[in-house]
Amino acid sequence: MNPAAEVQEWVSLFGLNTLGVSATARYYIEVKSLDDLHRALAWAQNRGCKTLVLGSGSNLVFSGDVDGLVIHMQIPGRYWEQVDETGATLVLGAGENWHQAVLYAAGAGYRGIENLALIPGTAGAAPVQNIGAYGVELCDTLVSVTALDRESGQTLRLDNAACDFTYRDSVFKRSPGRYIITEIRLRLSPTKPLQLGYRELEDYLESAASKELTALKVAEAVIAIRRRKLPDPETIPNAGSFFKNPVVPVAQFKDIQSLYPKVVGHPYNGAIKLAAAWLIDQCGWKGYRNSRVGVHSRQALVLINHAGGSGHEVLELAAAIRASVQSRFGVTLEMEPGVVGT
């Protein structure tokens, strides 16, 4: 690849973010290999350009145009290694569609990531957020991440411990721009117990005998539940869950519970993880909308862009929601999506 010939100028990012926000990249390039990535980074360095690595744009808000080089990560690859009687390791290129990878693994009879079906995004973005749903997180199966360390210029393989995963967080999120993930490895098993602890999942699958359940059937159940609750970004632009479920000390939870007995919370690492959707709903935001942006009528965690709103309008709505939850419950909500742009 000759990067100078591949770099485009003044490229619209409207179709490259699921919130449907209008923004423009000063420079833009697609990369499909590690060599492509090195050349793109060299091109940017020679011109003093900032860079933004973009996957499917499902977990970010463009607050304005991007004055630099947008590197659209499209490195492919999906194969098995270390296959034995205990399981197999699924290797995914960073540009692989995450949902399709889940279906591929479940269809092959391997368990471990079926609860993460229909989460939008790419395989390379999944470790950054440590994506999770229905009692399962990516870190439960992730063996290692291959990434380019921009500080050293070396390509490294970071094991699970080095990724320093916590709830919706990782070393990649805490060191933005340092690592560019090119490949991930997941250890899956044909016999691992299915994770069915969430009430919605249990209710959906209650008619099926446990011995008849497969990873694919669980994935299909998760898909049905998510489609019932969450809007399709193709029809209603959104970035999925906009806020993390806040984790508070047990004493603070009891204080809140004394005033609001129906507060929703679950034990989490010696503390209590509150349901952010419940907090937002209690503040009257569920179903709210102004002329351009709003909150989904069936899921208070999802902010929608129903009429061509800007990134600033989405962020203003998010700030108002955070302020009302803080005022009423004394709880600070943290945004899940990243914010980029001028």
- Residue 316 is a catalytic residue: no
CA atoms within 13 A on the CB side of 152: 7
* Strand ordering across the sheet containing 302-305: 238-241, 302-305, 293-295
Rounded distance between C-alpha atoms, residue 291 and residue 308, angstroms:
9
Amino acid at 287: G
Q: Which of 78, 168, 289, 292 is catalytic?
A: 168
Q: Helix, strand, coil proportions of the chain in percent (round to 5)?
A: 30, 30, 40
The residue with tokens 């009687």 is 85
- Reported as type and span, the H/E element at residue 312 is helix 311-329
- Residue 291 is a catalytic residue: no
Strand blocks (E) in the chain: 8-12, 24-31, 51-54, 60-62, 66-73, 78-84, 87-93, 132-133, 136-137, 142-149, 154-159, 179-188, 238-241, 247-248, 265-268, 271-274, 293-295, 302-305, 338-340
- Residue 22 is a catalytic residue: no
The residue with tokens 């999802």 is 302
Q: Which of 185, 241, 310, 322 is catalytic?
A: 241
Supply φ then ψ for residue 305, to 5 degrees: -120, 85
Q: In terms of Cα–Cα distance, which of 277, 303, 272, 269 is closest to 289?
A: 303
* DSSP secondary structure, 14-45, as one string: GGGSTT----EEEEEEEE-SHHHHHHHHHHHH
Active site residues: 168, 241, 336
